[in-house]
Chains A and B, each alone.
Chain A
Amino acid sequence: MISPSKEDLVTITLNGVEVEVPNGINAVEAAALHGKEVPHYCYHPKLSVAGNCRMCLVEMGTPMRDRSTGEAILEDDGSPKIGWVPKPVIGCATNVSAGMHLRTESDLVTECREGIMEFLLVNHPLDCPICDQAGECRLQEFATDYGRGFSRYIERKNVKPKRTRLGPRVTLDDERCILCSRCIRFSQEVAKDDVLGFVDRGSFSTLTCFPGKELSNNYSLNTVDICPVGALTSTDFRFKMRVWFLKETKSICTESSTGCNTIISSREGVIQRITPRRNDLVNDTWMTDSGREIYKLVKAENRILRPSVDGKDLPLSEGISSAVRILKDRKVGVVASCKSTLEEQFLTKLVIDATNAQVYIRGHFGEDDGILLSADRTPNLRGALINGLTDSYPEDHLNGLNEALASGELESLFVIDEDLLASGVDQENLKDVDIVFLGTHSHATSNMARVVLPSFTVFEKEGSFINKSFIVQAFEQAIPGPVGLSSQVEILSQIINHLRVDSDPLDAKLDGVWKSMGEVLPDLMGDCDFRSLVKAPFQIDGSKWSHLDFVEKNALNFESVKGVQV
């Protein structure tokens, strides 16, 4: 990193106009703050500065001072005389300071960009028609702005490997590589897995893995995201879809309590890929490879697509009526979920209240990788705390439920998502209870349920999660759910309405749920509503739970103590 940026503002002159920018940020960022794009390839805001692409060359000057007296030298008209650096400088490594003059729009700057563009293209295969990057390629974009439109190059182009397997998920086309070194720096600095490097020199430099190594870490696909050209491609997404056909939806990764901000790219109701979305408080511009695979749940073989009662497929409305019969006026246990959204958990609590149910909840834990995959492998454990589903920190089993079942305390069970048999509950103990299962995928427990209410995956609904830093983040619906099914919020609302016949029916729209949440949890939710949450996530005060032993370790943008202090 060049130098830490200070947040105090300084005045610089950008293309002849005085503007205020934070002191110490680089010229690329400073210009961007005021709507001037400085094209660049190797510079990435979350990586160290390499300065090798030379695309961000700008003109820089500072007011001249007399060496002996230190006084400013003035032009004839009284304005300060600017000492322009004779050569253009790279914007990415030029940190602004008070009084600096920058030109990002001048004949010299344009000439520089045109020159660099031409150089980048002379040995580039120009195979956009078969390149996955086409449509989101910086080379294409800047070629439109600064390309000649014809080639002066009549020599043979360099030949390099066309399809190198760098790892299980990344395929490299070396001919397209512009040697910006972003992927190398990412591997070193963020993934902490130094496996990439250049071999050979000059124009024959070639990106490759070190001998005996492969790019197989859980962050390898970020190199594909930050590759400004089509060199690094996702083996999964390669040749599958033209990016301009893709609908992009803002989403949140459900893999762990980190809650990486993501973009779901889909076409005609089919998800094609998941990529990270920048959030400097959460995931910067990264996400895990494993998190990108989650969309495969949508079409998983064990997806439940039809409601059923006692093994018979029935319409959803009849499934809900059957569920209500099982839950009403009986000794009920509810197995809530840390995977449910904030809204679903809120409604789950209403079900619990309406049935006077015992509530059970488990956590799911794994190894903390210290970057973005946290030890808590559920997206919304803190939501369960806030909604009052539990006061204590969930353990990774349901032994309490097993004991309650063994002692015959319960007649009915409302299970949301969890597989009881995989959570320490003995199958024997479930023999005499009626189970209502609300979830997306079948497993041993759903197979035992009398009523199965299938519902939507995270991609087919909207809602919000509270991540490990107590940041409430909303996600939107990317694709429609399977025909004939409803969202969990809809199903839970209907169950509640059936259970509470004397109360006003619930508004199953998220805005309505949020209004109710605001009434029940005014301290936490205030007067926020769902639509504004989508635009602006907010952090809530988690100090109430600071006594709990949260499992998350220090990681990117997260200190384990910070997680409970605001």
Chain B
Amino acid sequence: MNAHLQERRIILKHADDPSYSNLIGCYLREGGYETLKKAFAMKPEEVGEEVLKSGVRGRGGAGFPAGMKWKFLDRKSGKPIYLICNADESEPGTFKDRQIMYKDPHQLIEGMMIAAYAIGAKQAFIYIRAEFHEGARILNRAIQEAKDNGYCGDNILGSSYSCDLVVHRGAGAYICGEETGLIESLEGKRPNPRIKPPYFPAVLGLYQCPTIVNNVETLCNVRHIIEMGGEEFAKIGKPNNTGTRIWCVSGQVMKPGYYEFECGALTLGEMIFGVCGGLRPGRSLKAVIPGGSSSKILRADERFSGKLKDGTEFDWGLEDIPLDFDGPASVGSMSGSGGIIVMDDTVDIVEAMANINAFYAHESCGQCTPCREGSLWMRKITQRMCSGGAREEDADLLLSVANQIEGRTICAFGEAAAWPTQSFVTKFRDDFIKKASETVEEKNSRKLQLI
């Protein structure tokens, strides 16, 4: 795919260049590993300082400032420090990390080695989801290339610093994207997320040692932060929303795909109707999920008004929402992992809900009660609603079940499972009520039947 004119590609700069492969030769030709040399000429804490200055926020979903995360690291314990790259990209609607790892793996490796150097990691891991078997192969080959050239492993760049990098493949579970679940899985256990307190990864992470878990895109950003300097990086995008983001657009648009833009460079409307070529002929926009399936759905005809963090008032329609971290957050949703799911008027919202609920019921680890029982219950309700058994009271019941999950679980999966239901039912209440009176003919005439 050709880079869109308006895109500003930093992370995906070479990703779709036909003359560029994922071998180290291409990477070196384009100035690869020069930044690693630059970083190794600095003190580790200076590297961390640059990352803090850059204001880069985590690209995995929560958007927590990466430099701040590194600061929380318990360095007094005397225990080894671990760096983990979270490459368990499983959020429905998200496919950005895959592009990076498949097309430019050395960028990730360089970013990781800089990060490992900055935090003083003894060992680094890439936890990659099971489904990316080709990605794991590519990364393993790339790591070997990097090791052969002294960019990774023992005595990196001839220095006294050594850090091995290991690819660990998951076994197919969404919950492994939750950092403490990932750590448990990496330790060889069931990926049951840990209770926090006391098991904050920065203090008691992998093997009860201080651990930093960062997303693939975040770690790639580290490379660019060091290359251009933290302050320079912070000029990209907007304050508190620095750098670029890769947005993954899926659903009923003409040109779905991944697009890298400066944070806040365009609005949701520009993305859907400009970059992605709009909807299919004759269709109208019904709803958008802005940041992966766990973020709250936004209705096409909604008006959002309020105050931004800096005090400026806003009054937006769906199309006016700026694509950065704070835009979707200020309208009650989130930019999450950057997975924008577009739904047009052919989508049956209850079926869409049923699809999402089926996902969360299937992926709940089953450790804690609310998520374990609630997610399956919600799946059963929406499945029944789509199979001719809907009742008018189901809308309220769904909402109540979701409310009983939110905020009461061990990990953020509880919110991830509850938010879709809460927002779908609240915003499309009529669709859920109407389901109760749907006739068999109406049901069978639906063009898209998801389950």
Interface residues of A (CB under 8 A from B): 2-3, 49-55, 57, 86-88, 90, 93-94, 112, 115-116, 118-120, 122-123, 152-153, 155-156, 158, 178-179, 197-198, 200-205
Q: Which residue of B lies closest to A199 (CB)?
A: B190
Q: Shortest CB–CB separation between residue B425 and chain A, in angstroms?
A: 15
Q: Given contacts A203-B373, A204-B366, are A2 and B409 in contact (CB under 8 A)?
A: no
- Whether B377 and A155, one on each chain, are in contact in the complex, defined by CB atoms closer than 8 angstroms, is yes
Q: Shortest CB–CB separation between residue B433 and chain A, in angstroms?
A: 17
Using C-beta atoms within 8 Å of the partner chain, give the interface range for chain B: 20 to 34
- Whether B369 and A51, one on each chain, are in contact in the complex, defined by CB atoms closer than 8 angstroms, is no
Q: A50-B195, A122-B377, A152-B400 given; name 6 further pairs at CB < 8 Å.
A: A52-B410, A118-B404, A178-B369, A179-B372, A198-B366, A201-B363
Q: Given contacts A115-B408, A202-B365, are A93 and B373 in contact (CB under 8 A)?
A: no
How distant is the Cα of A116 from the Cα of B366 in the complex, in angstroms? 14
Residues in B neighbouring A94, C-beta threshold 8 A: 197
B376 close to chain A: CB less than 8 A: yes
Q: Which residue of B lies closest to A179 (CB)?
A: B366
Residues in A neighbouring B408, C-beta threshold 8 A: 54, 57, 87-88, 112, 115-116
Q: Could you mark each residue 347-366 of chain B with 1 if its beta carbon is under 8 Å from any beta carbon of chain A, else 0?
A: 00000000000000111111
Which positions 74-113 of chain B face chain A at CB distance < 8 Å?
none
Contact of B198 among A3, A88, A152, A178 (CB under 8 A): A3
- Whether A202 and B369, one on each chain, are in contact in the complex, defined by CB atoms closer than 8 angstroms, is no
B381 close to chain A: CB less than 8 A: yes
Which positions 326-373 of chain B face chain A at CB distance < 8 Å?
361-370, 372-373
Q: Shortest CB–CB separation between residue A366 and chain B, in angstroms?
A: 36
Q: Shortest CB–CB separation between residue B391 and chain A, in angstroms?
A: 8
30 example contacts (A-B, Cβ-Cβ < 8 A) are as follows: A2-B198, A3-B198, A49-B195, A52-B369, A53-B368, A53-B369, A54-B368, A54-B369, A57-B408, A88-B408, A93-B195, A94-B197, A112-B408, A115-B403, A115-B404, A116-B408, A119-B374, A122-B373, A155-B380, A156-B380, A158-B376, A178-B369, A179-B366, A179-B367, A198-B366, A202-B366, A203-B366, A203-B375, A204-B366, A205-B372
B397 close to chain A: CB less than 8 A: yes
- Whether A54 and B409, one on each chain, are in contact in the complex, defined by CB atoms closer than 8 angstroms, is yes
Contact of A203 among B361, B381, B409 (CB under 8 A): B361
- Whether A119 and B366, one on each chain, are in contact in the complex, defined by CB atoms closer than 8 angstroms, is no
How distant is the Cα of A116 from the Cα of B372 in the complex, in angstroms? 11
Q: Which 9 A-B pairs have the closest CB atoms?
A: A115-B404, A205-B366, A119-B373, A155-B380, A203-B376, A51-B195, A202-B364, A87-B407, A202-B366
B384 close to chain A: CB less than 8 A: yes
Q: Given contacts A198-B190, A202-B364, A203-B364, are A119 and B407 in contact (CB under 8 A)?
A: no
Q: Shortest CB–CB separation between residue A228 and chain B, in angstroms?
A: 12
- Whether A202 and B190, one on each chain, are in contact in the complex, defined by CB atoms closer than 8 angstroms, is no
How distant is the Cα of A204 from the Cα of B410 in the complex, in angstroms? 18
- Whether A202 and B361, one on each chain, are in contact in the complex, defined by CB atoms closer than 8 angstroms, is yes
Interface residues of B (CB under 8 A from A): 173, 190, 192, 195, 197-198, 361-370, 372-377, 380-381, 384, 397, 400, 403-404, 407-410
- Whether B366 and A123, one on each chain, are in contact in the complex, defined by CB atoms closer than 8 angstroms, is no
Residues in A neighbouring B372, C-beta threshold 8 A: 119, 179, 202-203, 205
How distant is the Cα of A200 from the Cα of B381 in the complex, in angstroms? 22
Most buried by A among B363, B366, B403, B410: B366
How distant is the Cα of A105 from the Cα of B308 in the complex, in angstroms? 36
Q: Given contacts A54-B368, A90-B195, A93-B198, are A201 and B373 in contact (CB under 8 A)?
A: no
Q: Shortest CB–CB separation between residue A146 and chain B, in angstroms?
A: 12
Q: Shortest CB–CB separation between residue B211 and chain A, in angstroms?
A: 19
How distant is the Cα of A116 from the Cα of B190 in the complex, in angstroms? 23
How distant is the Cα of A112 from the Cα of B375 in the complex, in angstroms? 16
- Whether A119 and B370, one on each chain, are in contact in the complex, defined by CB atoms closer than 8 angstroms, is yes
A-B contact count, CB below 8 Å? 98
Residues in B neighbouring A156, C-beta threshold 8 A: 380
Q: Shortest CB–CB separation between residue A208 and chain B, in angstroms?
A: 13
How distant is the Cα of A198 from the Cα of B190 in the complex, in angstroms? 9
Q: Which residue of B lies closest to A206 (CB)?
A: B366
- Whether B370 and A115, one on each chain, are in contact in the complex, defined by CB atoms closer than 8 angstroms, is yes
Contact of B404 among A2, A119, A158, A202 (CB under 8 A): A119
Q: Shortest CB–CB separation between residue B392 and chain A, in angstroms?
A: 13
How distant is the Cα of A179 from the Cα of B371 in the complex, in angstroms? 13
Residues in B neighbouring A54, C-beta threshold 8 A: 368-370, 408-410
Contact of A116 among B197, B198, B370, B377 (CB under 8 A): B370
Residues in A neighbouring B374, C-beta threshold 8 A: 119
Residues in B neighbouring A52, C-beta threshold 8 A: 192, 367-369, 410
Residues in A neighbouring B384, C-beta threshold 8 A: 155
How distant is the Cα of A202 from the Cα of B400 in the complex, in angstroms? 20
- Whether B364 and A201, one on each chain, are in contact in the complex, defined by CB atoms closer than 8 angstroms, is yes
How distant is the Cα of A116 from the Cα of B397 in the complex, in angstroms? 15
Q: Which residue of A lies closest to B194 (CB)?
A: A51
Q: Which residue of A lies closest to B372 (CB)?
A: A203
Q: Which residue of A lies closest to B361 (CB)?
A: A202
How distant is the Cα of A431 from the Cα of B198 in the complex, in angstroms? 72
- Whether B365 and A201, one on each chain, are in contact in the complex, defined by CB atoms closer than 8 angstroms, is yes
How distant is the Cα of A49 from the Cα of B397 in the complex, in angstroms? 32
Q: Given contacts A49-B195, A203-B361, are A119 and B375 in contact (CB under 8 A)?
A: no
Q: Shortest CB–CB separation between residue B229 and chain A, in angstroms?
A: 29
- Whether B373 and A120, one on each chain, are in contact in the complex, defined by CB atoms closer than 8 angstroms, is yes
How distant is the Cα of A295 from the Cα of B365 in the complex, in angstroms? 43
Residues in A neighbouring B368, C-beta threshold 8 A: 51-54
Contact of A93 among B190, B197, B369, B397 (CB under 8 A): B197
Residues in B neighbouring A155, C-beta threshold 8 A: 377, 380-381, 384
Q: Shortest CB–CB separation between residue A19 and chain B, in angstroms?
A: 22
How distant is the Cα of A203 from the Cα of B381 in the complex, in angstroms? 15
Residues in A neighbouring B403, C-beta threshold 8 A: 115
Residues in B neighbouring A201, C-beta threshold 8 A: 173, 363-366
Q: Shortest CB–CB separation between residue A455 and chain B, in angstroms?
A: 52
Q: Shortest CB–CB separation between residue A124 and chain B, in angstroms?
A: 10
Q: Shortest CB–CB separation between residue A296 and chain B, in angstroms?
A: 39
Q: Shortest CB–CB separation between residue A185 and chain B, in angstroms?
A: 12
How distant is the Cα of A119 from the Cα of B370 in the complex, in angstroms? 6
Q: Which residue of A lies closest to B377 (CB)?
A: A122
How distant is the Cα of A142 from the Cα of B410 in the complex, in angstroms? 21
Q: Shortest CB–CB separation between residue B191 and chain A, in angstroms?
A: 9
Q: Which residue of A lies closest to B394 (CB)?
A: A154
Residues in B neighbouring A93, C-beta threshold 8 A: 195, 197-198
Residues in B neighbouring A51, C-beta threshold 8 A: 195, 368, 410
Q: Shortest CB–CB separation between residue B125 and chain A, in angstroms?
A: 23
Q: Which residue of B lies closest to A55 (CB)?
A: B369
Residues in A neighbouring B364, C-beta threshold 8 A: 201-203
Q: Which residue of B lies closest to A157 (CB)?
A: B380
How distant is the Cα of A198 from the Cα of B409 in the complex, in angstroms? 19
Q: Which residue of A lies closest to B380 (CB)?
A: A155
Residues in B neighbouring A3, C-beta threshold 8 A: 198
Residues in A neighbouring B195, C-beta threshold 8 A: 49-51, 90, 93
Most buried by B among A49, A156, A197, A202: A202
Residues in A neighbouring B375, C-beta threshold 8 A: 202-203
Residues in A neighbouring B407, C-beta threshold 8 A: 86-88
Q: Shortest CB–CB separation between residue B106 and chain A, in angstroms?
A: 35
Residues in B neighbouring A178, C-beta threshold 8 A: 369
Residues in B neighbouring A197, C-beta threshold 8 A: 190
- Whether B369 and A116, one on each chain, are in contact in the complex, defined by CB atoms closer than 8 angstroms, is yes
Q: Which residue of B lies closest to A124 (CB)?
A: B373
Residues in A neighbouring B410, C-beta threshold 8 A: 51-52, 54
Q: Which residue of A lies closest to B196 (CB)?
A: A93
Q: Shortest CB–CB separation between residue B404 and chain A, in angstroms?
A: 3
How distant is the Cα of A323 from the Cα of B407 in the complex, in angstroms? 76
How distant is the Cα of A94 from the Cα of B196 in the complex, in angstroms? 10
How distant is the Cα of A204 from the Cα of B380 in the complex, in angstroms? 13
